[in-house]
Amino acid sequence: MAFKTQDDGDEVMGEINVTPLVDVMLVLLVVFIVTAPLLSNAVHVNLPKTAATAPPDEKDPVYVSIDKEGKVFIDEAEVALATFETELLKRKAENPELALNLNADDGVQYGIVAKVMASIERSGISKLSVLTVPGG
C-alpha cells in the first residue's frame, strides 16, 4: 500500500494494488486443492487406434437377455445358467471375434446379472455391450 506524504494535488499513484490479485490467487489455489483428488478417480479406458472412418462389417452381435424372472436367453433361445458358459465357449470356438449385447430387465436381481457377466468373462469374450434405455 502506498501512503501519501505530501499533498501533490491530482497526481496519479504509480503502484498497483495487489490485494485483489492475491485474493483471486488464493481462491484459485483452494479450488485446485479441492478438485485435484477428484481427478485421480477417473476411469481410464484404452481405446483402439484406427484410421477407418466407417465401422467394419461385422456379423450381428449375439444378444444375451435376462428377463424379470431371471431366465437367461441367448438370442431368443432359453439357456440354463448352469450351461450358459458352455454355450458361450461353443459359440466363441465358432467365431473368435464374438460380440455380445447384454439386456437385463430393470427388476432382475443383481446377483444373476453378475453371474452372467462372470460367465462371459470366463469364456474369454472381450466384446460386451450392456444395453440400457437412454434418458431415465
More confident residue, 2 or 66: 66
For residue 55, the SS3 value is coil
The rounded distance, in Å, linking the Cα atoms of 74 and 62 is 7
What is the per-residue pLDDT across 11-25, written as a single tens digit (0 to 9) for each? 777 788 888 899 999
Distance of CA 20 to CAs 15, 24, 26, Å? 14, 6, 10
Mean per-residue pLDDT over the chain, rounded:
77
Amino acid at 86: T
Can you give the residue ranges of every domain in the chain? 62-130
> What dihedral do alpha carbons 25, 30, 36, 37 form, nearest 10°?
170
Q: Identify the CATH class of 62-130.
A: alpha beta
